[in-house]
Structure 1
Amino acid sequence: MNTSTVGAPASLASHIETSRAGGPVTQTERIQAIDILRGVALLGILMMNIPFFAMADRFSESFRQDPSNINFWVNAVITVLFEGKMRALFSMIFGVGIILFVSRKEQAGQSAISLFFRRMGWLVLFGLIDSHVLLWMGDILYFYGIIGMIAFWFRKIKPGYLALGVLLVAILDNAMAVSFYQNLRDKRLAYVSVEKGQQQGKTLTPAQQQSVKDWQEIQKSFLPNNVETAEHTRLMKSPGYFTVASRFRKEVWDAQTKYLIYGIWDPLALMLLGMALYRWGFVTGQWPRRRYWQAMLAGYGLGLPLVIFSFYYGYSRHIADTEAFIQYMEQHPIIWTNLIYPFQRILLVMAHASLVILLIKSNVLTGLLNRLGAVGQMAFTNYVMHTVICTLVFYGYGLNQYAEWEFYQLYFLVATIWVLQLIVSPIWLRYYQFGPLEWVWRSLTYWQRQPMRRVAQA
């Protein structure tokens, strides 16, 4: 396995050796660039997640068309530079992790299948706990566990074929997204037709009554009106845990079951891309600097104009609020700017990753990079910590700050959490081999209690 170093902080080793055959990865076996990229992705994801912990439905409509409002510009920067890109980077690194986990077991002569699927099964369970017990409606652990089981079967495919697979899966993902949109549109058009009949005094047939119910259910789940928004906010601010849980537990379960087929393809394509980039040596820093510069400049040069145009079209002009979107949906069978999304997203995530790897190869900001690597090494613990902190700050059974803050103020808390995890993660790893949840996950995977404390080495 070719995993040469990238010449960065010595505290994070970047070579692969086979030791403690079949056991969890040791510190000397970690690939530094991958840990750092995972840390960047994890901290970046919080920027997109925190509004869904803290803000009422339709929160952005108050500033979406107001460039004089600071919230508009904060939202613009986050949407243009980070929305979708951090999740894409995390999915790519997850795909890399599949290869690393399985290859170590196979090199040790072990059956990788049983260990890997047990590992993913526990991740699915952790995701159910994160979403239904800790009440994070945007949990990804459940989905990554399921999609990881699918991606596993592609791990030995050559990089070129993996890249082709990425394209095919991305096309399928876009087709599923269009299908989902058109399903909503069909229900909306059926409802509009029934409304016209009601205005003419016609008696509704059972099929028409069902059309009304279907649209009302869609609207409640995806396009709440002002009355429903107020009710959702009331539930979230309730001091009762089970009242807060009632706000979105059904929607979360629907996403994990009824709508699961729509959510598989995007992460799967990105996991396959991560596998290909690992085999090509991109994520381990094996490319020459010139090629990373080329990837970064091409990514920013092509991706930024695309995403800026898409932001301008979608947010500040044509689909400014829920009512405008519904009207747009009645008139358009497809949101054509959505076709831009996968291209600008991949271009920018490649540019971001290239920038990070160039920093690693240049031996600059080594202290920060070391800390980001520690955050990435404890990604599971730090991800769930986001849930715990944000739910306790914003939900009614905690500090009850839901719908109380301005959008831009959320990012003071984001920065605080970043600083906390950048400080605590390396301190923890100074004394322990794994983060707390990583230790639990590994112990359950190997069905054996793993050593936790770090042993001093000469």
Structure 2
Amino acid sequence: MTPPTPTPRILALDALRGLAVIGIVGMNVHAFALPGPAYYNPLSYGATSPLDYWVWLGSFVFIEDKFRTLFAMLFGAGCLILIERSGAAPWRAHYARTAVLLAIGLAHATLLASNDVLRAYALAGMALPLLAGLSARALINVALGLLLVHVALGLVALGAPLVAYHVGQGGHDALLWAERQFGRDAPTIAMLLEQGREGLAERIARRSLGIPAQLKAVAASLPLNLSAIALGMGLWRGGMLKGEWRTFRLQRIAGLSALVALPGLLLLAVWLVRTGFPAPLVGPVALVLSAPFDMALALSYAALAMAFLNKDSGLTRRLAMVGRLSLTNYLMTSVILSAIFASWGLGLFGEVTRWQSLALGLVPVAAMLAWSPWWVARIGQGPFERLWRAGAGALS
């Protein structure tokens, strides 16, 4: 039997994937450089100058969860592409891929990045049999419905400290929990600083024991991640991510989405600044209330990329090469950031300010842009893409 002719790659889609994996560095670097609460709250740690607060504002409005959402959208589109091309028994191959991805994500979270997203994508991918047969419109409606589920469940989960904060009495345990997660609780910050400076063997042991808790936390993010995945599937099936939409239509979608997203995000940022970043408010804003606006801005980024990265320019080709190695680049970013911040590297965890950590995030970005074209031209598929494919092939 003659093997099917490979489908030509879509340059703009590869470039968009490259933008997504580069953009994720803008927030991931803070997870490597600073104690956990500082990821969301600049007053927790690492803000010593006005520049640090401007960095927080720019990250909150333009980066935080936008590129993670975009990455999830592209994961959904990628899964649908593979399912459509798999022919007979597509679900066996799909579940083999998600199983291997989950294993890679667990290893990544244990060794390097506790905020790994691959685990969430793999678990959310288990639901794709329920979605893959839907039309583009139905997939987008599912995405919106799951987004509403995330907001509702998130407000229930984080509502107790928020109510206690506004009522001004009672709820001591809830307020203390919020302060430890999103605030400036000094013992918690000290504990996290010590934890962040532990050795590699200590980290592996601690995180290995915490895998059940990791998966529980990841499960809580499934409605949001599955929402983004469904949106990406809908945009592929509807033709946007295939490069079939006209530039004017893409520009209109980008503009409307940005008009929805940016005022909402700016208002939430002003709310946090005016109230002094209270921990009971930081959590709901960062994890729940901003989510619809994050998704809208991610959609705007996707539309802009498909509109303007469809020409075979040097920049587009370089971004496309980064995107073709997206899994490898995502994982190698963690290797580089660990080499900078972990105790077995330069040991800069907790030693830099917010703006300095963002600046150091340019190191893996430069590495991706430099090595990806060389690797693709000479070797082709990335090493972790090859591992993922080989592992899935062995299971299926």
- Whether TM exceeds 0.5 here: the answer is yes
For the residues of structure 2 that align with 1:308 and 1:64, how far apart are their CA atoms?
A: 22
Letter in 1 for 2:84: S
Asked whether the equivalents of residues 235 and 243 of structure 1 are also in contact (C-alpha less than 8 Å), the reply is no
Identity %: 23
- The answer to which structure, 1 or 2, has the higher relative contact order (CA under 8 A, 6+ apart) is 2
Going from structure 1 to structure 2, the CA distance change for 1:347 and 1:97 (only over 3 Å counts) comes to: same
Q: Which residue, out of 217, 233, 236, partners 1:278?
A: 236
Say what the alpha-carbon RMSD is for the aligned residues: 3.1
The aligned runs of 1:293-372 (5 Å cut-off) are 293-314=251-272, 316-320=273-277, 324-326=278-280, 341-361=290-310, 363=311, 366-372=313-319
Task: State the TM-score, normalized to the length of structure 2.
Answer: 0.88
For the residues of structure 1 that align with 2:210 and 2:164, how far apart are their CA atoms?
A: 18
Matched, 1:263 2:242: no
> Aligned residue for 1:242?
201
> Aligned residue for 1:125?
103
Shift of 1:337: 9.3
Matched, 1:72 2:61: no
CA deviations on 1:49-79 (whole Å, 9 max, x unpaired) are 110101134441068999x611111221121
Asked whether the equivalents of residues 20 and 71 of structure 2 are also in contact (C-alpha less than 8 Å), the reply is yes
Letter in 2 for 1:80: V
For the residues of structure 2 that align with 1:146 and 1:400, how far apart are their CA atoms?
A: 33
Asked whether the equivalents of residues 306 and 344 of structure 1 are also in contact (C-alpha less than 8 Å), the reply is yes
Letter in 2 for 1:173: H
Going from structure 1 to structure 2, the CA distance change for 1:350 and 1:58 (only over 3 Å counts) comes to: closer
> Aligned residue for 2:187?
227
Going from structure 1 to structure 2, the CA distance change for 1:215 and 1:412 (only over 3 Å counts) comes to: closer
> Aligned residue for 2:373?
426
For the residues of structure 2 that align with 1:336 and 1:412, how far apart are their CA atoms?
A: 25
Matched, 1:97 2:97: no
Letter in 2 for 1:353: A
Q: Which residue, out of 377, 386, 389, partners 1:439?
A: 386
Going from structure 1 to structure 2, the CA distance change for 1:233 and 1:217 (only over 3 Å counts) comes to: same
CA deviations on 1:295-330 (whole Å, 9 max, x unpaired) are 12222233211211111112x12252xxx324x69x
Letter in 2 for 1:434: Q
Going from structure 1 to structure 2, the CA distance change for 1:219 and 1:344 (only over 3 Å counts) comes to: closer
Matched, 1:384 2:331: yes
Which 10-residue stretch deviates more, 293-302 or 373-382? Answer: 293-302
Going from structure 1 to structure 2, the CA distance change for 1:168 and 1:182 (only over 3 Å counts) comes to: same
Asked whether the equivalents of residues 319 and 325 of structure 1 are also in contact (C-alpha less than 8 Å), the reply is no
For the residues of structure 1 that align with 2:343 and 2:134, how far apart are their CA atoms?
A: 49
The aligned runs of 1:51-62 (5 Å cut-off) are 51-59=30-38, 60-61=42-43
For the residues of structure 2 that align with 1:64 and 1:311, how far apart are their CA atoms?
A: 18
Matched, 1:173 2:131: no
Number of equivalenced pairs: 390
Asked whether the equivalents of residues 196 and 349 of structure 2 are also in contact (C-alpha less than 8 Å), the reply is yes
For the residues of structure 2 that align with 1:396 and 1:381, how far apart are their CA atoms?
A: 23
Going from structure 1 to structure 2, the CA distance change for 1:75 and 1:20 (only over 3 Å counts) comes to: farther
For the residues of structure 1 that align with 2:133 and 2:127, how far apart are their CA atoms?
A: 13
Going from structure 1 to structure 2, the CA distance change for 1:62 and 1:103 (only over 3 Å counts) comes to: closer
Shift of 1:380: 0.8
Going from structure 1 to structure 2, the CA distance change for 1:319 and 1:194 (only over 3 Å counts) comes to: closer
Shift of 1:344: 2.0
Going from structure 1 to structure 2, the CA distance change for 1:225 and 1:310 (only over 3 Å counts) comes to: same
CA deviations on 1:358-408 (whole Å, 9 max, x unpaired) are 2124x37x1111111111111111111011111121111221111111211
Asked whether the equivalents of residues 250 and 307 of structure 2 are also in contact (C-alpha less than 8 Å), the reply is yes
The aligned runs of 1:18-29 (5 Å cut-off) are 20-21=3-4, 29=8
For the residues of structure 2 that align with 1:170 and 1:80, how far apart are their CA atoms?
A: 19
For the residues of structure 1 that align with 2:275 and 2:288, how far apart are their CA atoms?
A: 16
Shift of 1:248: 5.9
Shift of 1:188: 9.5
Kindly name which structure, 1 or 2, has the bigger radius of gyration based on alpha carbons: 1
Going from structure 1 to structure 2, the CA distance change for 1:187 and 1:139 (only over 3 Å counts) comes to: farther
Task: State the TM-score, normalized to the length of structure 1.
Answer: 0.77
Going from structure 1 to structure 2, the CA distance change for 1:145 and 1:276 (only over 3 Å counts) comes to: same
